[in-house]
Amino acid sequence: MAFIRIIEPEEAGENLRQIYAELTRSRGKIAEVHKIQSLNPPTIPAHMELYRQIMFSRSPLSRAEREMIAVVVSAANGCRYCVQHHLEALKHFWSPAAANAIMTGEYEAAELTTRQRALCDYARDLTLSPQQDAAQGKWAERLAQLGVEDRELLDATLVVAYFNFVNRTVLGLGVELENDPGGYRYD
């Protein structure tokens, strides 16, 4: 149960009801991570715009790679809610076996490229110890040696930062996983 009050769609005032309707239209349904923000409705569309820009806009990282990073970060943080949601999204792009291997850190079983594995390692390290190699530029150097361009590194870092933000919101406010975490629009 969430640690704060949530306004459900049937209780929502006009402004929040419109925000919920737009979420249903654009994403297929309303997630608990959106409802947790219902006491401050203007944050919901702002949050969704940031999410759309980071996860869906044009990028040299594929949608699958961004979902891969989301799963790695969320697993490192122990955020079951985000792991499950983004594992479902990753399964939309990759096989369930590959997606599950990403979740457990078994990159060989996921058959990742060297570049993708390095992006996963970067995401985990930046999440767990941001003051270490990432802050000293060592990861930027390693990734550049693998052919990762600056824009790819920027976009990967934005995904890492975004999911650290959302993981902390979910964990800090007790957002509960829905019975069916899938069924969203992933493309």
33 and 68 share one domain: no
93 and 167 share one domain: yes
CA distance 163 to 159: 6
CA distance 84 to 24: 19
pLDDT digits (tens, 9 = 90+) for 108-150: 899 999 999 999 999 999 999 988 866 678 899 999 999 999 9
Q: Select from 163, 69, 162 the least CA-distant residue to 118.
A: 69
Q: Which pLDDT value is given to residue 185?
A: 57
CA distance 17 to 155: 32
134 and 51 share one domain: no
Q: Which pLDDT value is given to residue 158?
A: 98
51 and 89 share one domain: no
Is residue 186 situated within a structural domain?
no
Is residue 80 situated within a structural domain?
yes
H helices of 30-149, where?
32-35, 43-56, 63-77, 80-93, 96-104, 107-110, 114-128, 138-145
Q: Which pLDDT value is given to residue 178?
A: 84
89 and 166 share one domain: yes
Is residue 3 situated within a structural domain?
no
What are the CA-CA distances from residue 70 to residues 11, 120, 123 (Å)? 32, 9, 9
Is residue 183 situated within a structural domain?
no
Q: How many domains does the chain have?
A: 2
Q: Which pLDDT value is given to residue 144?
A: 96
Q: Which pLDDT value is given to residue 13?
A: 96
Q: Which position has the token pair 């399964």?
A: 91
Q: State the residue range of the domain holding 42.
A: 9-56
Is residue 73 situated within a structural domain?
yes
67 and 125 share one domain: yes
Is residue 187 situated within a structural domain?
no
48 and 130 share one domain: no
Q: Which pLDDT value is given to residue 25?
A: 92
Is residue 27 situated within a structural domain?
yes
pTM: 0.93
159 and 116 share one domain: yes
- 23 contacts 9 by C-beta, under 8 angstroms: no
84 and 140 share one domain: yes
DSSP state of 177: P
Q: Which position has the token pair 């944050």?
A: 43
167 and 84 share one domain: yes
Is residue 180 situated within a structural domain?
no
43 and 70 share one domain: no
pLDDT less than 70: residues of the chain: 133-135, 181-187
164 and 81 share one domain: yes
